[in-house]
Structure 1
């Protein structure tokens, strides 16, 4: 059997998340069908991180095992020919069985894009619009308590299936551009809805609806009902996934 790794990106607006569903309107469903057309056999796709409905990926990594012997170009151009224009395979690589798209990953980076303006801008469809002014300095200060290893139960969706709510955040930076902002969050792994739930609570601080110290209180409470609402999906992108250098995964996106 050959183990093939693919690097892909997608616009999540029209998909109901990554994971396969009976109706077939997911990224995994479209990609599986396209790969099977080339492999001429059933395949099982494993991804680095499942994205929710409406969430995008700048860098997603998947792997599958196949008896088919195809040139790497077939897994790129051939598969892309059968995909909708909102999904693209960027690179392919054959690796040994020690590689696993999910379990070999050492960390993941998400970005959440947003902008504050009196009216919505249709061209900023990958960002979340907020119509109120934000205190970005207060948001930065409040976010400092999230760094390190914590129990993130307060920011975990009720349907989350993770065995443990403990995660480690290595960095959480708020970046200001000319007409928008984004949080870049780097961690070992993330719980279901964790980034969007964190964003909802950070926005409460940014609007001065809650004090900066409130975020630490919510974190330490481990109580989801004390945190703010889940923020919209369209501002969130899986930005990067880090692997041991031995696998050369970044070559998929070169």
Structure 2
């Protein structure tokens, strides 16, 4: 047996943070720079393996979308102490990616399939001037009516068919989802929109935010907004919000973790 391998594998759970602006999303793509490829390559170099260790993430974020705490898992036959992984990986990862925690997990743990709640936050900067060192977010220069915005968020809560808020490339077959929370937090010129649900459709949050911004800006009526939600009819002016304002904040796998995520609504900025 090679000294770098063990006879049985361990399932490892990592918590990964990354700046999505530098990547073409999470998922591996030929000829593109992705978070998955960077992480798998770092593991291979750190452990001196002849082939890559395949990692599975809780979500496959799109190009430009960030993650504050993305759980991932992989199986490993190597004697490296688990507690050394987070620091050791830092040496082989680019500046835009960090591993916050590493721990052994039960063999049944699956970062994607075992998740019972995902929390995403979208940040909007209500500023006419561009500030390069401002928090990440979508800079909206037109006035937004926060009462209309809060009304729209209220309509999104509960169980609905969200097909009107998905992209045309969405392959998800189950479009009826339960939005456990959809809330607004204001801090000066910064707005944070929090969405907590078991799963999301492709581009769903960005289309919801784009529709909410059109609603709050007076370009979309309440009736048209409800038609998107109830009938799946989305007009062109309810555009997809840019990716840079979106961040995966956390994922829950147990009822205790779920309750903890539901109770968290920190003041912005968060990223």
Q: Could you tell me the TM-score, scaled by structure 2's length?
A: 0.87
Determine the structure 1 residue equivalent to 2:225.
Answer: 215
Q: Does 1:139 align with 2:149?
A: yes
Determine the structure 2 residue equivalent to 1:7.
Answer: 15
Superposed displacement of residue 222, structure 1: 1.8
Unaligned runs of 5+ in 1: none
- 5 Å-filtered alignment, 1:60-99, equals 60-99=70-109
Contact 1:142–1:213 (8 Å) recurs in 2: no
- 5 Å-filtered alignment, 1:61-210, equals 61-124=71-134, 126-210=136-220
Determine the structure 2 residue equivalent to 1:32.
Answer: 40
Contact 1:7–1:62 (8 Å) recurs in 2: yes
Q: Could you tell me the TM-score, scaled by structure 1's length?
A: 0.93
Q: Does 1:20 align with 2:28?
A: yes
Gap change, CA 1:211 and 1:6, over 3 Å in 2: same
Residues in 1 aligned to 2:44 and 2:170: alpha-carbon distance in whole angstroms? 30
Gap change, CA 1:179 and 1:191, over 3 Å in 2: same
Residues in 2 aligned to 1:193 and 1:115: alpha-carbon distance in whole angstroms? 20
Superposed displacement of residue 154, structure 1: 0.5
Residues in 1 aligned to 2:43 and 2:234: alpha-carbon distance in whole angstroms? 39
Determine the structure 2 residue equivalent to 1:46.
Answer: 56
Unaligned runs of 5+ in 2: 1-8, 261-271
Q: How many residues are treated as equivalent by the alignment?
A: 249
Residues in 1 aligned to 2:175 and 2:148: alpha-carbon distance in whole angstroms? 26
Where 1:81 maps in the other structure, the secondary structure is helix
Superposed displacement of residue 224, structure 1: 4.4
Moved over 3 A (4+): 223-227
